[in-house]
Chain A
Amino acid sequence: MKTKIIEVNNLTKEYKELKAVDGLSFDVYEKEILGLLGPNGSGKSTTINCILSLLKYSEGNIKIFGKEMRPDAYDIKRDIGVIFQEVAVFDELTVYDNIDYFCGLYIRNKKQRREHIEDAIKLVGIEDYKKFYPKQLSGGLLRRLNIACGIAHKPKLIFLDEPTVAVDPQSRNNILEGIKKLCESGATIVYTTHYMEEVEQICDRIVIIDKGKIIAEGTSDSLKELASIEEKISVEIDKIDDETLTKIKDLLTVSDAEYQNGVLTVSYKSGNDNIAEMIDFLRSNNLKYNKIYSERPTLNDVFLELTGKELRD
């Protein structure tokens, strides 16, 4: 049986009349990457802040490493690393000095610290920027520095709160690869984001939150089973009339079809090889298309199914 690293029971956080977090309960297991997925304002960051005792919560209890988490639980905090959404570094210190400072809040031994800093720098790929000041770094490099500052002391539990917001694709891939490596080296990771692709790419388990409540929980595949569709076919096509669209909707396994911005999207209730049927249909109706591709339902479809709105809304 897997060891529980975090136990959250009935967590509730109220701001006057607004319930930011509403009776949240979930566990995080050792060496897993748990994704907290939800749109902006769904309560992800509030949940993290409550877990870290940065916020007082109205109800519930939180255990980390089997002990109750409190603001003065320094023995628990020793094994926690946090990467916040906002970059938290000193403008006056170099890249190396910044990591040294934040690592030094946990580790006193200079030699050990030096080794840890080098490992962190290597992990996030900023070896060439050690003597740079934060203002000299690009947005992506700054995010990588932010991560290095949070993980240099080699914590057993790492919280990453939307670390890839406003990051270029190269840095994003680097960050995601780094997170995987951290997990492989034995760390447990809680990853919050509103990018479903990232969650699908790196998370072992996903908790979907909306309006402070958990609306679904499971692996990526198990969550996708919650969707009422099995396949989605997208066709890039210059023009399509309403009569043809109705014909498509009337096809036996089609759940829905819509045409928007030059893309025809057809959702199928069942099957995962409907693309041949669609090509035949387009050919028989003399419809010329540029591109056609098939997708499995995404977490966005699941979210849409469960809440009636898109994840990015």
Chain B
Amino acid sequence: MTVFNAFLKVIRKNIGTIILYTIIVIVFAAVNMQTSDNSGEFVSEKPKILIENHDSSPISQNLVKYLTENTEVKEISGGEEAVSDALFYREISCVVTIPQNYGTNTMTGKGPEILIKATGDYHASFVEIMLTHYIRIQNTYAEISENEKDMVKQINSALDSKTEIEMTSELDTVSLTKAKSYFNFAAYSIMSCIIFIICLVLSSFNHLTVRKRTIVSSMNDKKYNAFLLISSSLYVLVVWLFFAILGYVMVGDIVFTPVGGLYILNMLIFALTSLSIAYFLSTVIHAKNAITGIVNVITLGFSFLCGVFVPMQYLPSWVISVAHILPAYWYVDTNNRLADTEILNIDSLTPILINMLVLAGFFVLFAISGIIVSKKKQKIA
């Protein structure tokens, strides 16, 4: 208990750091979840346009009707300058101008041009697609229609034909996207809380003078190391549990679903891997002043390279390739896969479990490296 008590007291001395990293994850995850709230769901939206119709034929009026149904038509007074301002300030996405004699020219096959003045954004592109679609149908019926009224009838009949689409997916994309954001951001704080604190604590216990005094004491060396291992593991479990509970607070009930369970399991493996990294680092770093710098380089490096801060899809391919050698990549990749997993079966679970195994492999690798270095250093002469 003596070792365990001292371990806790050393951790308590660093409680400020733990609180700092907890605040960081809460703030970052909250901001990220807020900004990416709509990224995973469909929201219906109509482009805002202005229609200038210089023709009064049934054909031009039918085109106006079609546009009115599918867009939000705005009225702008004040002449050409006011229209240009509206386009500049994105009050409207485009101006559709229907020329004089549009109906007559269409019927006679002269191919009248509709003028479009657009901002170039995706709303304007959408209007262009709609117009192209309409004009293709209109041109098709221009050759076979007897008069304008008949043509309008045929066009509307063609436009009315619809395809029924049934959404079979029950994927809660909003919650899963939030969960992905939280668990990805948690990687940075988990790494910092575990690697930084465990390195600091173990460096105190492994300080040469303290170590010498422990070796000459009647405390069995194996027992002493076991106490340190148990204390470190308990700390890691507390950190993991804390971030799991925080996950429930941040993203809600999704953590109690099977996918949520996998998120939490993935986080546990990552926390244990962070512990083995910390153990390895504590055997090679002795100066406490150096720990802050080295741990920052590692945690920030892992976070930036592995898609913790910036989603993986925005990272260059070479960065992703390099990131494969880092444990955080496999953790984040698992989270990303979980966000897209609709049904849990062998096929969907296999890549996720492989990722977790790779992560566990990193745990074993760093733990063995730490033990080898530690054994070598124990041989004083």
Quick check: A82 and B218 within 8 Å, CB to CB? no
Closest to A58 in B: B381
Say yes or no: A56-B212 contact (C-beta < 8 A), given A92-B13, A102-B217. no
Per-position binary interface string of chain B over residues 206-242, scored 1 when its CB falls under 8 Å from any chain A CB and 0 otherwise: 0111101111111111000000000000000000000
Task: Please indicate the chain B residues that have their CB under 8 angstroms from the CB of A29 in the complex.
Answer: none
Q: Given A90-B10, A92-B10 in contact, is the A106-B209 Cβ separation under 8 Å?
A: no
- In A46-90, the 8 Å CB interface with B consists of 49, 52-56, 71-72, 74-75, 77-78, 80, 82, 84, 86-90
| Contact assessment for A105 and B209 in the assembled complex, using a CB-CB cutoff below 8 Å | no
Size of the chain A interface, CB-CB below 8 angstroms: 35
Contact status A84-B213, CB under 8 Å: yes
A104: chain B residues within 8 A (beta carbon) = 1-2, 5-6
Question: Do B216 and A80 touch across chains, with their CB atoms under 8 A apart?
Answer: yes
- Cα-based distance from A47 to B212 in the complex (angstroms): 15
From B1, B5, B13, B215, give the contact of A54 (CB < 8 A): B215
Contact A52 B216 (CB under 8 A): yes
Complex Cα–Cα for A91 and B201 (A): 11
- Contact among A13, A88, A90, A93 with B212 in the assembled complex (CB-CB below 8 Å): A88
**B176-208 Cβ-contact flags toward A at 8 Å (1 or 0):** 000000000000000000000000000010011
CB neighbours of A108 from chain B (8 A): 1-2
Q: A15-B381, A92-B13, A97-B9 given as contacts; is B212 within 8 A of A106 (CB)?
A: no
Assuming A97-B9, A102-B213, is B381 touching A55 (CB within 8 A)? Answer: yes
By a CB distance below 8 angstroms, the chain B residues around A55 are 380-381
B-side interface size class:
20 to 34
Closest to B222 in A: A72
- Of the candidates A53, A54, A56, A105, the one having the most CB atoms from chain B within 10 angstroms of its own CB is A105
In this assembly, does A101 line the interface, its C-beta being within 8 Å of a C-beta of chain B? yes
Complex CA gap A55/B241 in Å reads: 43
CA distance A267 to B218 in the complex (A): 51
- A105-B381 contact, Cβ under 8 Å, with A78-B218, A84-B213, A93-B9: no
Chain A residues, CB < 8 A from B213: 82, 84, 88, 102, 149-150
Contacts of B208 in A (CB 8 A): 86
B9 contacts A54, C-beta separation under 8 Å: no
Q: B279-307 CB contact bits vs A (8 Å, 1 = yes)?
A: 00000000010000000000000000000
State whether B9 touches A106 (Cβ < 8 A): no
A54 touches B380 (CB 8 A): yes
Question: Nearest CB to that of B13 among chain A residues?
Answer: A92
Check if A88 sits within 8 Å of B6, measured CB to CB. Answer: no
Q: Which residue of A lies closest to B207 (CB)?
A: A88
Q: Which of B2, B288, B381 contacts A101 (CB 8 A)?
A: B2
Report Cα–Cα, A149/B218, bound state, in Å. 14
Distance in angstroms from B110 CB to nearest chain A CB is 89
Expressed in whole angstroms, the Cα–Cα distance for A77 and B13 within the complex equals 31
Within 8 A of A (CB), among B359-381: 380-381
Q: Contact between A106 and B13 (Cβ–Cβ < 8 Å)?
A: no
CB <8 Å contact, A90 and B210: yes
Taking a contact as CB atoms under 8 Å apart, the answer to whether B6 and A77 are in contact is no
**Are A74 and B220 in touch, CB under 8 angstroms?**
yes
Distance between Cα atoms of A87 and B209 in the complex (Å): 7
Q: Which of A125-184 contact B (CB under 8 A)?
A: 149-150
Expressed in whole angstroms, the Cα–Cα distance for A102 and B14 within the complex equals: 21
Contact A54 B216 (CB under 8 A): yes
Partner of B218, one of A13, A56, A106, A150: A106
Max chain A C-beta neighbours (<10 A), residue from B14, B208, B209: B209
Q: How far is the CA of A149 from the CA of B209 in the complex (A)?
A: 12
CA distance A82 to B2 in the complex (A): 19
CB nearest to A85 among chain B residues: B209
Partner of A105, one of B10, B204, B217: B217
A71 to B1, CA, bound (A): 23
Can you list 12 residue pairs at the A/B interface with Cβ under 8 Å?
A: A52-B216, A71-B221, A72-B221, A84-B212, A88-B207, A88-B209, A92-B9, A92-B10, A97-B6, A105-B214, A108-B2, A149-B213
* 9 nearest A-B residue pairs (beta carbon): A104-B2, A88-B209, A78-B218, A92-B13, A105-B217, A105-B219, A92-B10, A77-B218, A88-B213
- Further contacts, 18 of them, CB under 8 A, given A54-B216, A91-B204, A101-B2: A52-B216, A54-B212, A54-B380, A56-B380, A75-B218, A78-B218, A82-B216, A90-B6, A91-B288, A92-B13, A100-B2, A101-B6, A105-B214, A106-B217, A106-B218, A106-B219, A149-B213, A150-B213
Residues of B within 8 A of A (CB): 1-2, 5-6, 9-10, 13-14, 204, 207-210, 212-221, 288, 380-381
Residues in A lying within 8 Å of B, measured CB to CB: 13, 15, 49, 52-56, 71-72, 74-75, 77-78, 80, 82, 84, 86-93, 97, 100-102, 104-106, 108, 149-150
